Each structure stands twice: as structure tokens, then as C-alpha cells.
Amino acid sequence: MNKEQLVDKARVLIEALPYIRTFFGKTFVIKYGGAAMTDEELKKAVILDVILLKYVGVNPVLVHGGGPEISQWMRRVGKEPRFVNGLRVTDAETMEIVQMVLAGKVNKDIVGLINRYGGKAIGLCGHDGNLIVARKHPGDLGLVGEVETINADLLHLLNREGYIPVIASIGSGFDGESYNINADSVAGDLAAALKADKLIMLTDVEGIFAEEGDPSTLISSLEIERARRMIAEGRIAGGMIPKVEACIKALESGVPRTHIIDGRSMHSLLLEIFTDKGIGTMVVS
Amino acid sequence: MNKEQLVDKARVLIEALPYIRTFFGKTFVIKYGGAAMTDEELKKAVILDVILLKYVGVNPVLVHGGGPEISQWMRRVGKEPRFVNGLRVTDAETMEIVQMVLAGKVNKDIVGLINRYGGKAIGLCGHDGNLIVARKHPGDLGLVGEVETINADLLHLLNREGYIPVIASIGSGFDGESYNINADSVAGDLAAALKADKLIMLTDVEGIFAEEGDPSTLISSLEIERARRMIAEGRIAGGMIPKVEACIKALESGVPRTHIIDGRSMHSLLLEIFTDKGIGTMVVS
Amino acid sequence: MNKEQLVDKARVLIEALPYIRTFFGKTFVIKYGGAAMTDEELKKAVILDVILLKYVGVNPVLVHGGGPEISQWMRRVGKEPRFVNGLRVTDAETMEIVQMVLAGKVNKDIVGLINRYGGKAIGLCGHDGNLIVARKHPGDLGLVGEVETINADLLHLLNREGYIPVIASIGSGFDGESYNINADSVAGDLAAALKADKLIMLTDVEGIFAEEGDPSTLISSLEIERARRMIAEGRIAGGMIPKVEACIKALESGVPRTHIIDGRSMHSLLLEIFTDKGIGTMVVS
Amino acid sequence: MNKEQLVDKARVLIEALPYIRTFFGKTFVIKYGGAAMTDEELKKAVILDVILLKYVGVNPVLVHGGGPEISQWMRRVGKEPRFVNGLRVTDAETMEIVQMVLAGKVNKDIVGLINRYGGKAIGLCGHDGNLIVARKHPGDLGLVGEVETINADLLHLLNREGYIPVIASIGSGFDGESYNINADSVAGDLAAALKADKLIMLTDVEGIFAEEGDPSTLISSLEIERARRMIAEGRIAGGMIPKVEACIKALESGVPRTHIIDGRSMHSLLLEIFTDKGIGTMVVS
Amino acid sequence: MNKEQLVDKARVLIEALPYIRTFFGKTFVIKYGGAAMTDEELKKAVILDVILLKYVGVNPVLVHGGGPEISQWMRRVGKEPRFVNGLRVTDAETMEIVQMVLAGKVNKDIVGLINRYGGKAIGLCGHDGNLIVARKHPGDLGLVGEVETINADLLHLLNREGYIPVIASIGSGFDGESYNINADSVAGDLAAALKADKLIMLTDVEGIFAEEGDPSTLISSLEIERARRMIAEGRIAGGMIPKVEACIKALESGVPRTHIIDGRSMHSLLLEIFTDKGIGTMVVS
Amino acid sequence: MNKEQLVDKARVLIEALPYIRTFFGKTFVIKYGGAAMTDEELKKAVILDVILLKYVGVNPVLVHGGGPEISQWMRRVGKEPRFVNGLRVTDAETMEIVQMVLAGKVNKDIVGLINRYGGKAIGLCGHDGNLIVARKHPGDLGLVGEVETINADLLHLLNREGYIPVIASIGSGFDGESYNINADSVAGDLAAALKADKLIMLTDVEGIFAEEGDPSTLISSLEIERARRMIAEGRIAGGMIPKVEACIKALESGVPRTHIIDGRSMHSLLLEIFTDKGIGTMVVS
């Protein structure tokens, strides 16, 4: 590489400075999922982005689910996954698999990857330090849960001591039983409890479109009011609903900015944070 | 209950005082396994013992494996467990199951139980905070590992902040890959790294017998020298070998006392700690 | 002792766990007096109870008077004790004796005893760190005082550093002069100033009876309103009045629970704390 | 007062500056006794000196006995004081009086006085925080003791938090019993344990004279060797012996300077510290 | 010096004790200027006063300008100083000289002097840690500024760590440019921002006179109301106006006492602080 | 900018990660001088580099001189600069100008610039906190000094609290007088005293050449031995000598790496740090 090229690289670092200053000491809750969690190259890119954030003074907190891997393991032991309104019907045996896959496999694999690339991660689920206390979901879905309270002390401690918390979306019931909770919704509640400065949802779409399926109508800034209307009108649908609702929950609890971004793009996290315009849909109050 | 009986209870608390004073602020590494981990009543008793220790000023650190559950899950997906010299042959798929079962199921179930009975536990494996760095075992056993180094910072932090660490015996290789490590040996290395004051191995026997199978020959205090001779002579054999070796490792690293006790007795942990004689075999240097 | 018996003992410890959890980190002000301060066996039992409390995470603060010993020393130097409405008439010479007996003898003997049984105690009177600032009692009683303000900083410091404060009920006037203050009343004010979680008065009765002298009418929970009425009606009388008033003072300053218990029972402190029902009269708001 | 006079006063403050700088953050152990403890005017002057020292950054630690008051109280209860080699024969009853007078009266009066003039003092004896652990004196003197160990933690804590510790020369035996110890010797041991920068003995003489009784032969600097010789030759005698021995003990434990000064002079403490020459005898190694 | 004289000196120190107690831990902002900054003997006296204050527990913060030296250096490079309403017209070149003289010469000379006499000083201007953020003065005076905000964090840090901050009255504009600000006004704003306990203006007059030029009419206590009236009536005029206005600003922001004193008297700082009456004019609310 | 370009930028940030990890928490002493201090564009680039370093966890400490500006101001007041062996002959008047220019102008301008671009800088000279204690240079050069000792406490404090120290190369003599010290040599001594991880000298050449004047012979790694030989042989000459000597001094005091780099290149600081090869000459032991 010649000097010119090196200087160009240095310039890029310097261009990031105003963003680094802005976010120094801030907490970002990042919902990690979709292609960014399965594609090897994307996975590495996200992990590196997260580690970089930590080194430049941001406290990233990762939240993840792991639906596809759960279904795959269920099938390996002869159980057919069943969903109602997008929520997995979770009998006791399914819950056991959910917990093993999320807390034992997906979570620890992410932790191992972060450590490998030079970060210091800790993998947690809702049981650890009673992080996520859950109640049963009102529907007839078995051990599906909803967040009751978040005990954020442990996360503050880990952030302060230089660790990156990685959190599997499993809740802890009042009798110590496990609950399967939607990871989007855990991310929203965590952002609220941590008084995070950003909630970022990594998805497999470019953002929210005004016209369904038409990327040219990407909404870069979506107000709560309009988001609610779009949900009511069915224009925000399926798996996007819990993501938008998590954003609204966080916004209403004082998180200033929430973002729905395309995890299929390389380094979408850095792009969202280190560019003025951002790259996906920002939900704002 | 009448007053007399209440006063008797108070007397029991007071009798424990000299032991509480002696162990205040000390660290105990407890290898949790065997019947104490499967029998519901014993399980609850151990958990309560551990929580009580924490409240009276001891820092308990739990280490566990989970062989039977691993084998059971292997069979559920059609794999037959295979052992060489007592070590599980661990191909990549087996390692995935080992990690899911240990770090996702057994570990988090213990954490949930501790929280349920009023403690604050955190479940970790070797990846978390790079706690257990492992190298490949020299034998031809696949992903079986040995402890390379322990990063005890995280445990000191958690102990200080009132948490009970619960550790699954999985190591983290230099490239972030997972290794299956014998839990006894992890316990020994952790005790050494933490400069623990006690290493306690919960087993399914009463201790070590001078005459095999004859409980009346229970050795209450066993010197390293004699332990080594008994191993050489085959009088300590099978699963007891790694336990005794873990004790020796810990003793040689400065842990003053190590104990092999019978986890099938109710509250054996408390009995070991809060009686002068102890109840099992103490290995001493 | 056989194993069965040992396990029974362990069970007793475990039964105490929920109470230990509840009171962990809390502050108890204990008015120490009566038989519990004179009978050797009772004395040792109280001291052990207090030390145990400290080791299981409670911050006990002891307050004591010492009337009988004062009178005895007065008589040894030829002075006849005189009381008006239960308060000792305290001329300068009497005050000197009061101070020597309380701060020099009773206080330091308690401290010595606590240290002997394995606690770390500090003996203080109102002069130390200006702990108890006093004004003259309005009556014509000489150097009898009332609490003006409590400087609790020193106690918070000592509690935090693992010491058990033992406090003689002597106040410090604005010119550094000493005042003889009722120890019950000092205990009430200290509990209020420390925002204690319990005020416990050790007495020589089983509690407060609905029918005077009839133990079968022991009131286990007494509301402030009713307590005041009973005082007005003379059904609470004599030395019990300042005790009940100290409880009321503490309750009105935010101390949640106050107890009048029978110091003549062995380990009455532990019984009060580690049983659901308690053993004496709880005064509540 | 006219301006000229005021400026003169300011100059005096400024003259003290180099001494203040030199002693900032240092610890001085001051043996308080003799006329300075009985004469009202001298008493006030010493107390003010000590408070001033604290405010200009020195950590003064006061040690006191109280022989005359003990003898007086013994006589009041009909006991005749008896001495062997200058040490009070101390039966159990005498010990009780010693403790009451020293820890209850003298100690708390000093504390009250310091508080009155604006300092924050804490009165302690050897029992408090196990400050002075004592063993029995070999002679046949009853409860006369010698210092076994000093637990200086408590004093460091109090110094750091702005308190002036005032210490009565009573030791705590292994079974919690009290011992009567020579205050000079306690001061020497405390200076050694605290790694004090100065040990200052307030006496009722101007210092040590080369020719007995001839003030014109005051020795301003006395080496250990010569001091020992003078004791052997009987030229240092009586109550001066334990003072000089305390100085030697302190010097040999690393205390750099020890002083024997005349407590009958007003503000002798300040003069010793804030003048180059000092005013009494400095014992040096 | 004989003993009598030494004791007199000690007495003077002791007389200062009540003042030392009163001001322990308090912050004083001292505007340093006039003869006290030019006369060698006065300069040394002020510096010693400031160091003494630091050692007896006060946090002195010095603020200075340096008008005469600026004018002298301007003339050396051929520029004629010009003033409008007492404010120096400050073109870019003048500003360069102002900064060099204030921040480079006067400031560092004071720092050097404090260090020489045993203090630990740090010289700062408004740029350092963005201490004084300034906006342009509305008049047509070039780079004359007014205080916009004070960032007091740095000063709190330095005070706590034992340093004496010395501050040149230069402000930092939003684009990093320098502004020449009146030092009196900086002192007032600093006192306000630091929540100082005293603002002391060293001047070259004895204080404010009721009758101009008649020292016998010195006003020892001047209320804001009356001060404002005297300014309106022209009886407070010239360079005294910004001083009085700085006092008013500080008083209205909660500084309890502000003083205008005669820096031409030796040790006027100490006299103001360590006498009951003070020596100049106290402006009060 | 299109997405591709943005992703390229993100990649550059990620490429920097291994270097950021390596240098996290480390201290770099940077000698700032030459073109990088005069050319506006280069100046801004250096300042931004320094701020970026601070945000990514490095503690940069800047040291500067300012020869050309000093000479220019000397001439403005009619003094002709004179040098002996590259050292400025410094009479008292010259020293005054040196101090004004370095500590008042150059230093505070750098501080203002850092603050303007988002850092928090503090400008210091050797007087501040007695940072650089100096003795007179043995030559007959007037007030030219050499470093006697460095008091690094203040710098550690400022680093820890997020400030960037900027240090003018002026020393403080034992009587508080100022000394003019070579800035290269100050940088070397500071690096040694701070136990820095890097000393970086910004110069106006590309590094050290094996063949004088032939850039193709740039030595990328120069051992002390060879450096000394090159000085002896005159192949390292003039202003490069003190730079190389400063590097040697630092290396011999334990600084692991020292660099002589070309300050005329944009972002040379970042290039040196964030590339494997570096861009100038590394002097190594």
C-alpha cells in the first residue's frame, strides 16, 4: 500500500471522530439476529463492529434469539415446531431445547467469537443475576413469557469493567422456571431499563417501506404515531411488529433514538452510527 | 413449636459461629456433581447450603459437569457415547451437544435454582471473559481439552459484588473453539488460580477407603504421598483419580485444604464445613 | 454426635436462611439491659447473638445503661441514690460516678466480652465524635439530660468497617459537660437517626400484657394509638413507659419495626429475629 | 488591637508554615500526663495545641494514664494504693477502679474537652477494636500487663476520617480480661505500631539533665547508647525510666524522633514542633 | 528568642484556631492584583498567605489580570494601549500580547513563586479544560470578552488533589479563539460557579469610603442595594465598579461573603480571614 | 457517497482495531514541532490525530518547543538570537520572552485548538505542579537548563481524568527561576518518567538515512549502538542529535519503542501507530 492510500485510511479514522465523541460513554442495546447471525462473513463483521464500539468508548449490549436453530434441534429430536401469531408454542420439552440452544449454543458461540477477535464478552440469560424476570404470556402458548422487570445492576457492572454483555432472550419466572421471550421485546425492555442512548434492531430488510416491497419508499424517520397507524393498517406486519413495538417501548421510556437497520449489509452497525444520515429507518418520538 | 425447641435452634446457630468466623471472607471452590445434582431433594439441600455460605461471608464458586445428561441427549439424536480411559470421545457434533447441555441446560438450571432460593448466581463457561483457556488433550479424543490458564479477574469481581459464580467445565481454545474438559480438573485449577481456601469435591461415595468397599476403613486425612501411592497401586481408581489429582494440584498451588465428601448425604457441605471432624476424606499436603 | 443429629443441625441453619436474607445489610438498634446484662449465662448468650447477627450481615448497635451498678458504686462512696419519677437525681458527683460506671466499666466490659467471643466492638459514649448531643432535662434533677441531636456519621463508618458499636447512655452538653440520659430513650433516638430497621428493647418481662400481670394476655402486636391509651390509663407504667415511648419515637421517625422482648430467655434476640411470630410485643404504627 | 499588631500576628502564622509543611500528613503519638492533665489552664492549652495540629494536617494520637485519680478513688472506697518498683499492685477490685477512672472518667473528659474546643475526638481503651492486646506482667503484681500486640487498623481509620483518638492505657487479655499497663510504655508501642513520625512524652520536668537537678545541664539531644548508660548508672531514674525506654522502643522500631518535654510550660507541644531547636530532650538513635 | 516570646507565638497560632475551623474545607476565590502583584515584599506575603490557607484546609483559587505589564509589552513592540470605559481595545496583535503576558509570564511567575515557597500550584487560562468559555463583549472593542460559562470540574479536581489553581483572565471562544476578559469579572463568575465561600478582591485602596477620599468613612459592611446606589451616583467609580459588580454577581449566585481589601497592607489576606472584624469593605446581600 | 464507499470506510475502521487493542490504556509522549506546528493544515491533522488517540484509549502527552516564534519575538523587541552548538544563549530578558512565547502563546494556542476540535487539553510548563525541575546547563549559555527530575503525578492524574496534557519545555529551578530546555530532551525524560509505551518525535525529515540526503536509504529500525556510532561519525548531526539522544534516554529507562517520524506528512502520527511497518525510523534497544 502506498503512502497516499495510507493517508486516505487515516482520514477515514478522523472522519469518525465527531461520531466517536458524540457516543463516548453511551450505551447501545443491539438486537442481533437474522442473516447477520447466520452468514459467516456478516457475523464476523458485526462482531468486529461491536468490539470497535467498545474500544471507542461505547457500551454495546447484545441481545439475541435464535429461532431457526431452535426449530432445527426440535426436529432432530422429532418435535415439529408450531407457531401461533408468530410466537412459538413452547411446551416443557421445547423450553428445554430453547434454553439449550439459546443459552448454551448461540449465546456462547457469540461470546467465543467476540473473545477470539479481541473483545471481552460475557454470555447471560434471564436467570443470571435475575436479569430478566418474566411472567407467563396471557395466550395459551405454554412457557412463552413477557418481561416483568429487568435487573440492570449486573449490566452496569459489566459495562463499567470493560465486558460486552451478550444476552439470550430467556426469562426467569418467580419460581425459577424458564420462559421463552421474544428477543425484540427483551431488547426494547433492556434499552429502557439501561436508559440506553440507542436501540438498534438488526433485521433482514432495509428498513420500513411506505409502500410495501418498494425499497425506493424507505422511510428514514418514522414517528411513533405513524408507526402505530401503519401497524393498525397492516402495513407493518409479521416479525416487524415486535421490532417496531420494542422501539416504541424504548422511546417512551426515554431512549432518545431507535433504529431498524439491514443486517445483511456489511458493517451496517458502523454505518448506522458513523454516518449522519444512517442507513435504515429511525423510529422517533 | 415451643420455646424450648426454639432455644435449641438458636443454640445450633450459635454453635456455628466459630466456623463462620474462621471462614469469613474465604473462597471455596465446590465441584458439584453426582447424586447431589440429580436427586431433587439433595439438589435443593446443596443449593441452600451454598446460599447460606454466601450469606455468612464465604465466597462459594460452583463448578459442574453433567455427563449423564450429555449421554442422554446424544442418544436422543442418535449418537452413541464412547469413552476412552473415562474421557468422552468428543467429535464436533458431540461438542455442540456437550456445550448446549452443560452451558445451556445444567448451568442455567443451577443458576435458576439458586436465584429461586434467594441467592444471586451467574452462570459461566470457559468462554465468558475467557475464564478457562484450554488446549487440546494430547490423546486422540477429538475436542477434549485441558486447562491452559484461568483468568480469575471476572470471578473476583463477581465474588466481591455478591454473586455466586456457577461454572460449566467448557474451555475456550485459542481460536474461540470449545473444549470439553473434565470438571474435577477444572475445579482443581480454579481453586489454584483463585487461591481458594478450600476445594470440596461432592461425590457419590463416603470418601476414600483404605480397604476398597469397606466403609469402616474411611480415611479421614490422606497425605499427597499416600494418595499417589494408592493411585499407583490401583486402590484409588476410575472417576476418583481425577478428583484426587485435582486435590493434589490445588494443594500444590497453595490451597490449604481439599475435601472429598459424600454428596448423597443431606447438607454434606454444611457438615463438612461446620463440624470439627468433617465427614469425608481430607486430602492434605 | 451421630450423622442424623448433625443433619438436623444443618437443617436449623438452613431454616434461618430466609430471615438472614431479609435482614442482610439492615441496622438493628438493641437496648441491652436487665437480667441479660447481669446473669452471666444470659449475658454470654446475648453477646453471641449479637456477634452472629454481625456475621450474617446485620449491623447491630448496642445501647446500654447500668442503673444497679451505679447505685451500688454510689453507696460504696457513701451516697444514697434518689429517684424522682424513675429518673435518678444526678448531682455533679453522681454524674462522675455515672460516667465512670457506664463508660468505664459496663461499656468496656461488654466490648471486652464481644471481642473475646470473636466480634470487633467499639465502646462509645455521647462524647465520642459528639455522638449524643444533650440538653438539660427540664425537671429539677441536676445533670439529667435529654437527647438534642445524634451525629450518626461515626456509627455508619464503624458499621461499614465491621465494628459493633456499644454505646453508653451519656450525653454531651454544649460546653462538653456530661449528662445522664435514660438509655431507652437514647436507643429510640439512635434508631431514628440511623434509620434503623429494627429497635429491640431487652427487658425483664415477657412483653406487654393486656391484663396486668397475666402472661396469657401478652399483646403480640400493639399499635401506637393503643399504646398511648394504655399509658394514659396507667396500664403501661413505670420503667415500661420510656421503653414504649422510645418505640413510638422510632416508629414515627420511620423505623419500621420495634420490639419489646424478654431478655431473661436465652437467645431471645435470635428468637425474635429468626422466627415468624417473634416472642415479645411488637409495637407498630 | 491596631493594624501593626495584627500584622505581627499574621507573621507568626507565616513563620509556622515551614513546620506545617514538614509535618503535613504525619502521625504524632503524644503521651499526655502530669501537670498538663491536672492544671486547668495547661489542660486547655494542650487540648488546643492538639486540635491545631489536627487542623494543619498532623494526625495526633493521645495516650494517657491517670495515676493520681486512681489512687484517690481507691482511697474513697477504702483501699490503700500499693506500688512495687513504681508499678501499682492491681488486684481485681483495683483493676475495676483503674478501668472506671481511666476509660470512664479521664478518657471521656479529655474527649469532651477536645470536642468542646472544636475537635472531633474518640475515646478508646485497649478493648476497643482489640487495640491493645496484653499479657500479664511477669512480676507478682496482679493484673498489671505488658503490651503484646497493637491492632492499629482502627487508628488509621479514625485518623483518615478526621478523628483524634484518645487512648486509655488499659490492655485486653486473651480472655477479654483487663490489664493495667504503664501509659508511657503503651505510647511507645503505639508509636512503633503506627510508624509514627514523632513520639512526644509530656512530663513534669524540663527534660533530662546531665547533672541531676541542674536545669543548666539539660541534654537537648540524647543518644540511645548514652540513655542506656544513664539508666544503668541511676542518673535516669524513677518515672523517667519507662519514658526513656518507650522512646528507645519507638526509635528502634523506626520512629525517627522522640521527645521528652515539659508539660508544665504553656503550649509546650507547639513549641516543640514549631521551633527548630525544640524545648526538651530529644532522644535519638 | 526566649521562652516567653515563643509562648506568645504559640498563642497567636491558637488564636487562629476558631477561624481555621470555620473555614476548613471551604473555597476562597482571590482576585490578585495591584500593588500586591508588583511590590516584591507584598507579593511574597500574599503568596505565603495563600499557601498557609491551603495547608490549614482552605481551597484558595487565584485569579489575576496584569494590565501594566501588558501595556509595557505593547509599547516595547510599538503599540500604544488604548482604553474605552476602562476596557482595553484589543485587536488581534494586542490579544496575542495579552495572552503571552498573562498566561505565559504573570501566571507562570506566580506559579513558580508558590512552588518556591512550598505550595503546589497549577497555572491555567480559560482555554485549559475549557475553563472559561467567553463570548464577544457587545462594545466595539475587538477581542474583549465576557464570561459565558465556567467549567469548574477541573478546579474541583485540582483543589481535591492539593493543588492551588492560578487563573489568567483569558476566555476561550466557541472557535477556540482567545478573549481578553476583565479579571474582576472572571473572579466573580468563578466564585459563583465554584459555589465559593468567599470572594476576596485585593485592591490598592483600603476599601470603599462613604465620603470619597476620606479613609475615616470606610464602609465595613456594604449592602448590595446601597452599593448599586453608590455606583449610580458615581460615588463608586472607575476600576472599583467591576470589583463591586463581581461581588454582587457572586452574592446573587449564593457566595455568602465577598470582600474588597487593601492589598498594599502586608498579609491583608490573613488579616481579613483571621480577624473578626476584617480589614476592608465586606459587600453583603 | 454510495453504500459501497461507506462500507469501505467502515472496513478502514475495522482494520484499525488490532492496533487500538494493542495500544489501549498505553501512554504516548509526542514531541510536537517543525512544520506540523506551523502549517495550518498539518497542525489541524496532528491535533485531530491526538484527539482520536485519546478517544480510542491511548493517553497522549504532547511536548513542544517553539524556536522560530521565540526568535521572531526577540527580533520584534530588538534582540538578535544567538546560538552555541544549537542551543539558544538565554539571558534573563530572553528567558522572559521564551516563557511568554512558549507557555503563553504556543502552548495555549495548541490547547485552544485541541478544545476546539473536541478534546480536553491542559497546558502546562515545568513550573506547574513542579512538573519539570531543572538545573543550569553546564555551558556558558545563561538560563539554559537540563532536566533534573520529573514529577509525573500531575500527568497521571490528568491522563486518568480524560485530559490531554500539553507541555512547554520550560524547567523550574530550585529557586523558582525559569530555564529554557531543549524540548526533545524534555520529551525523552517525560517518556522515561511516565514509563510511556512510545516516544514519538515529529520532525521535518522522513527519518534517519544511512546515506545522508538519500531517502532511499531510510533506516526503518536503528539500534542504539548503531545510532551512537552514527552520531560519533557525524552521520547523525545538528538538530537530529538531541532527538536521537532523547530516544536513547527513553529506551534505556524502559520505554519499549521510540520513533522519529516525518511531521510534514498528513496524519503521520496515525500512520506510525496504525500500520505494521510504521513510516519513519524506529530507534530500538
**How high is the pLDDT of residue A175?**
87
CB-CB neighbours of F113 under 10 Å: 21
Q: Nearest C-alpha of chain D: how many angstroms from C158?
A: 9
CB contact (8 A) between residue E111 and residue F128 = yes
Summarised one tens digit per residue, pLDDT across range B115-170 is 999 999 999 999 999 999 999 999 889 999 999 999 999 999 999 999 999 999 99
3-state helix/strand/coil string of chain E: CCHHHHHHHHHHHHHHHHHHHHHCCCEEEEEECHHHHCCHHHHHHHHHHHHHHHHCCCEEEEEECCHHHHHHHHHHCCCCCCEECCEECECHHHHHHHHHHHHHHHHHHHHHHHHHCCCCEEEECCCHHHCEEEEECCCCCECEEEEEEECCHHHHHHHHCCCEEEEECEEECCCCCEEECCHHHHHHHHHHHHCCCEEEEEECCCCCECCCCCHHHECCEEEHHHHHHHHHCCCCCCCHHHHHHHHHHHHHCCCCEEEEEECCCCCHHHHHHHCCCCCCEEEEC
Q: Quick check: F172 pLDDT over 70?
A: yes
Tell me whether F172 touches chain E (CB under 8 Å): yes
Q: Nearest C-alpha of chain F: how many angstroms from A46?
A: 10
CB contact (8 A) between residue F127 and residue E104 = no
Summarised one tens digit per residue, pLDDT across range A193-220 is 999 999 999 999 999 999 888 889 999 9
CB contact (8 A) between residue F121 and residue E128 = yes
Please name the member of D17, D52, D270 whose beta carbon is closest to the beta carbon of E118: D17
pLDDT band at D1 (very low <50, low <70, confident <90, very high): low
CB contact (8 A) between residue D115 and residue C76 = no
Mean pLDDT calculated for residue range A71-94: 93
Q: How far apart are the C-alpha atoms of E264 and D3, rounded to whole Å?
A: 13
CB contact (8 A) between residue A13 and residue F13 = yes
Summarised one tens digit per residue, pLDDT across range F178-197 is 999 999 999 999 999 999 99
Q: Which pairs from E3-9 meet CB under 8 Å and 24+ separation?
A: E3/D265, E3/D271, E3/D279, E6/D271, E6/D275, E6/D279, E7/D265, E7/D266, E7/D267, E7/D271, E9/D12, E9/D15, E9/D16, E9/D274
Q: Quick check: F137 pLDDT over 90?
A: yes
Counting residues of chain F whose pLDDT is more than 90, the rounded percentage is 83
Please name the member of D99, D163, D175 whose beta carbon is closest to the beta carbon of C108: D99
Positive/negative CA dihedral, D48, D53, D54, D56 = positive
**How high is the pLDDT of residue F243?**
96
Mean pLDDT calculated for residue range A61-75: 95
CB contact (8 A) between residue D13 and residue E279 = no
Q: What does the block give as the cell for E9?
A: 507565638
**How high is the pLDDT of residue E27?**
98
Please name the member of F77, F100, F122 whose beta carbon is closest to the beta carbon of E104: F100
**Residue E228 — left, alpha, or beta (φ > 0 → left; ψ -120 to 50 → alpha)?**
alpha
Please name the member of F7, F16, F24 whose beta carbon is closest to the beta carbon of A13: F16
CB contact (8 A) between residue D10 and residue E279 = no
| Residue C240: closest CA among C254, C256, C261, C221 | C261
Q: Nearest C-alpha of chain D: how many angstroms from C154?
A: 9
Say if residues A272 and A262 touch (Cβ distance below 8 Å).
Answer: no
Tell me whether E175 touches chain F (CB under 8 Å): yes
Say if residues D88 and D132 touch (Cβ distance below 8 Å).
Answer: no
Q: Quick check: C150 pLDDT over 90?
A: yes
In this structure, the dihedral spanned by the alpha carbons of residues B36, B37, B40 and B45, taken in order and rounded to 10 degrees, is: 50
Of D175-179, D273-277, F31-35, F207-211, minimum mean pLDDT range:
D273-277
More confident residue, A129 or E175: A129
Tell me whether A163 touches chain B (CB under 8 Å): yes
Residue located via cell numbers 464481644: C114
Q: Nearest C-alpha of chain D: how many angstroms from C6?
A: 29
Q: How far apart are the C-alpha atoms of F30 and C159, rounded to whole Å?
A: 49
Mean pLDDT calculated for residue range A254-268: 94
Mean pLDDT calculated for residue range A83-93: 92
Q: Give the chain D residue nearest C128 (alpha carbons).
A: D122
Q: Quick check: E270 pLDDT over 70?
A: yes
Q: How far apart are the C-alpha atoms of E185 and E169, rounded to whole Å?
A: 9
| Non-local CB neighbours of C41 within 8 Å, separated by 6+ positions | C266
Q: Give the chain A residue nearest B170 (alpha carbons).
A: A108
Are B and F touching by the rule of 3+ CB pairs within 8 Å? no
pLDDT band at A279 (very low <50, low <70, confident <90, very high): confident
Tell me whether B22 touches chain C (CB under 8 Å): no
Instruction: Tell me what the pLDDT averaged over chain C comes to.
Output: 94
Summarised one tens digit per residue, pLDDT across range E77-120 is 999 999 998 899 999 999 999 999 999 999 999 999 999 999 99
Counting residues of chain E whose pLDDT is more than 70, the rounded percentage is 100
Say if residues A36 and A142 touch (Cβ distance below 8 Å).
Answer: no
Tell me whether D121 touches chain C (CB under 8 Å): yes
Please name the member of C115, C177, C178 whose beta carbon is closest to the beta carbon of D176: C115
CA distances (Å), D165 to each of C178, D119, F129, F159, in order?
Answer: 19, 11, 33, 37
User: Which of residues 183 through 242 in chain D touch C, CB cutoff 8 A?
Assistant: none
b/e string for C121-145 if b means 16 or more Cβ within 10 A? bbbbbbbbbbbbbbebbeeebbbbb
User: What structural domains and CATH numbers belong to chain A?
Assistant: 64-181 (3.40.1160.10), 197-285 (3.40.1160.10)
Residue E53 carries which side chain, given as an amino acid letter?
A: L
**How high is the pLDDT of residue A194?**
97
CB contact (8 A) between residue E122 and residue F120 = no
Are F and C touching by the rule of 3+ CB pairs within 8 Å? no
Q: Give the chain E residue nearest F73 (alpha carbons).
A: E77
b/e string for A236-267 if b means 16 or more Cβ within 10 A? beeebbbbbbbbbbbbebebebbbbbbbbbbb
Please name the member of C12, C48, C279 whose beta carbon is closest to the beta carbon of B12: C12
Among B52, B273, B275, B276, most C C-beta atoms within 10 A, so best to mutate, is B52
Tell me whether A279 touches chain B (CB under 8 Å): no
Among A108, A157, A178, A179, most B C-beta atoms within 10 A, so best to mutate, is A108
Q: What are phi and psi of C2, to 5 degrees?
A: -85, 170
Tell me whether F92 touches chain E (CB under 8 Å): no
Q: What does the block give as the cell for D52?
A: 491545631
Q: How far apart are the C-alpha atoms of F220 and F231, rounded to whole Å?
A: 17
ipTM, two decimals:
0.94
| Residue B118: closest CA among A149, F271, C18 | C18
Tell me whether A68 touches chain B (CB under 8 Å): no
Work out whether strand C59-64 and strand C164-168 pair parallel, antiparallel, or are unpaired. Answer: parallel
More confident residue, F92 or C85: F92
Tell me whether F176 touches chain E (CB under 8 Å): yes
Instruction: Tell me what the pLDDT averaged over chain F comes to.
Output: 94
Q: Nearest C-alpha of chain C: how many angstroms from D148?
A: 16
More confident residue, F277 or B222: B222
Contacting partners of chain F (3+ CB pairs under 8 A) = A, E
Largest interatomic CA distance in chain A: 65
Tell me whether F167 touches chain E (CB under 8 Å): no
Say if residues D197 and D23 touch (Cβ distance below 8 Å).
Answer: yes
Q: How far apart are the C-alpha atoms of F125 and F165, rounded to whole Å?
A: 10
Q: Chain B to chain C, count of Cβ pairs less than 8 Å apart?
A: 101
Q: Which chain B residues are within 8 Å of A152, Cβ to Cβ?
A: none
Q: Chain E to chain F, count of Cβ pairs less than 8 Å apart?
A: 111
Q: What are phi and psi of A44, to 5 degrees?
A: -60, -40
Summarised one tens digit per residue, pLDDT across range F229-267 is 999 999 998 889 999 999 999 999 999 999 999 999 999
Residue A284 carries which side chain, given as an amino acid letter?
A: V
Please name the member of B45, B56, B266 whose beta carbon is closest to the beta carbon of C56: B56
| Residue E260: closest CA among E242, E280, E240 | E280
CB contact (8 A) between residue C49 and residue B9 = no
Of B216-230, E45-59, E243-257, F1-15, minimum mean pLDDT range:
F1-15
Say if residues C99 and C170 touch (Cβ distance below 8 Å).
Answer: yes
Q: What does the block give as the cell for E255?
A: 457566595
Tell me whether B45 touches chain C (CB under 8 Å): yes
**How high is the pLDDT of residue C1?**
64
Q: Quick check: F1 pLDDT over 80?
A: no
Please name the member of D3, D57, D267 whose beta carbon is closest to the beta carbon of E11: D267
**How high is the pLDDT of residue B85?**
84
Q: What are phi and psi of A122, to 5 degrees?
A: -130, 130
Mean pLDDT calculated for residue range C220-248: 94
Please name the member of B51, B117, B267 whose beta carbon is closest to the beta carbon of C11: B267
Are E and C touching by the rule of 3+ CB pairs within 8 Å? no
| Residue B33: closest CA among B63, B71, B6, B1 | B63
| Non-local CB neighbours of A146 within 8 Å, separated by 6+ positions | A134, A135, A136, A137, A171, A181, A185
Instruction: Tell me what the pLDDT averaged over chain B comes to.
Output: 94
| Residue F280: closest CA among D175, C250, A3 | A3
Q: Chain A to chain B, count of Cβ pairs less than 8 Å apart?
A: 111
Per-residue DSSP letter, C109: H
CB contact (8 A) between residue A52 and residue F12 = no
Tell me whether C271 touches chain B (CB under 8 Å): yes
CB contact (8 A) between residue D9 and residue E274 = yes
CB contact (8 A) between residue C115 and residue D157 = no
Mean pLDDT calculated for residue range E247-271: 94
Among B127, B151, B155, B177, most A C-beta atoms within 10 A, so best to mutate, is B127
State the Rg of chain E over Cα.
19
Query: DSSP alpha helices (H): ranges in chain D?
Result: 3-23, 40-55, 67-76, 92-99, 107-116, 153-160, 183-194, 224-232, 240-252, 268-274
Q: How far apart are the C-alpha atoms of A126 and A169, rounded to whole Å?
A: 7
Q: Quick check: F134 pLDDT over 70?
A: yes
